[in-house]
Amino acid sequence: MGKNLIQQARGKGSPRYKAPSFKWKAKVEHIPWSEELKTGEIVELIHCAGHSAPLMKIVYDDTENYMLAPLGVRVGDKIMSGKGAEIALGNTLPLGEIPEGTPIYNIEVKPGDGGKLIRASGISARVISKVPDGVIVVMPSKKRKIFNMKCRATIGIIAGGGREEKPLLKAGNKHHKKKAKNKIYPKVSGVSMNAVDHPFGGKHSHKKGRPTQVPHNAPPGRKVGMLRPRKTGRGVVSFKKGGGGSKKSKVSKKEEKAKRKEKRKSKMQVRV
């Protein structure tokens, strides 16, 4: 019996495959929705291992919140959240009130969910137009998406855009980077494993030893590789060599040979 595959161990839910969210400084989301316009102040900029961008701690009159810091803010800046907020860096307001061409981030998919999209460092989306159904936003992938006008977003570009420009230089640095978020590193391919660890493993590291298409009825632990196609070929039954074909096919072949011979004879006569 072989060992469990990574996808099987991940489904079990052991600590090896869980994100260490208890180590992170805070959960990043918009403050709960209210009709009132709230004003706060940035009191601290924080580094959090669970986020690729720096966080800003905002203190309001009755609560405090952590948000992704946009490029250009500093400690002591005023932050507004709610309807009627100014169009300024770090302010949060509904998409229906944001003018076209404004860069935004931390967009809500549904009104009140706290923000789900555009949360990585150095990226932003952009409002391009407003239609009766909602607001059209261009994502960093150039894809256009329509959002509800009541969905909130924060104005600006997320800080930390030069994160990927710094080279890691050695494997140890990448190890510590992945360990902070409990990501698997290094990732080993199945053909490089032993036979007990993976169906494609074995002493021949470059040969898989079996078809890469997964059978439909394969048990857990064997379902690795490419998905099985529902149907292959053109749906035409092919005949084996050495007979087995229908009589019509044999007759047609003989007729084709006779026609070829007649063509050759006619060509020879023309030449003569």
> Based on the domain organization, do 31 and 9 belong to the same domain?
no
> Based on the domain organization, do 28 and 133 belong to the same domain?
yes
Considering the domain boundaries, does residue 272 fall inside one?
Answer: no
> Based on the domain organization, do 62 and 187 belong to the same domain?
no
Arithmetic mean of pLDDT, 97-111:
95
List pLDDT tens digits, range 4-55.
898 888 888 888 888 888 999 999 999 998 888 999 999 999 999 999 999 9
Phi and psi at residue 73, to the nearest 5°: -90, 160
> Based on the domain organization, do 27 and 126 belong to the same domain?
yes
> Based on the domain organization, do 2 and 93 belong to the same domain?
no
> Based on the domain organization, do 103 and 216 belong to the same domain?
no
> Based on the domain organization, do 119 and 37 belong to the same domain?
yes
Considering the domain boundaries, does residue 39 fall inside one?
Answer: yes
Total domain count, the chain: 2
> Based on the domain organization, do 129 and 215 belong to the same domain?
no
Phi and psi at residue 23, to the nearest 5°: -85, -15
Q: What is the DSSP string of 163-213?
A: GGGS---SHHHHHHHHHHTT---SPPPGGGS-TTT-TT-SS-TT--SS-SB
Q: Are 146 and 130 in contact (CB under 8 A)?
A: no
Considering the domain boundaries, does residue 30 fall inside one?
Answer: yes
Considering the domain boundaries, does residue 260 fall inside one?
Answer: no
> Based on the domain organization, do 1 and 86 belong to the same domain?
no
Considering the domain boundaries, does residue 199 fall inside one?
Answer: yes
Considering the domain boundaries, does residue 26 fall inside one?
Answer: yes
Q: Which domain holds residue 24?
A: 19-155
Tokens 């770090």 -> residue? 90
Considering the domain boundaries, does residue 230 fall inside one?
Answer: no
245 pLDDT higher than 70? no
Q: Write the CATH number for 30.
A: 2.30.30.30
> Based on the domain organization, do 99 and 141 belong to the same domain?
yes
* Whether pTM exceeds 0.85: no
> Based on the domain organization, do 29 and 98 belong to the same domain?
yes
List pLDDT tens digits, range 56-103.
999 998 899 999 999 999 999 999 999 989 999 999 999 999 999 999
> Based on the domain organization, do 95 and 207 belong to the same domain?
no
What is the chain's length?
272
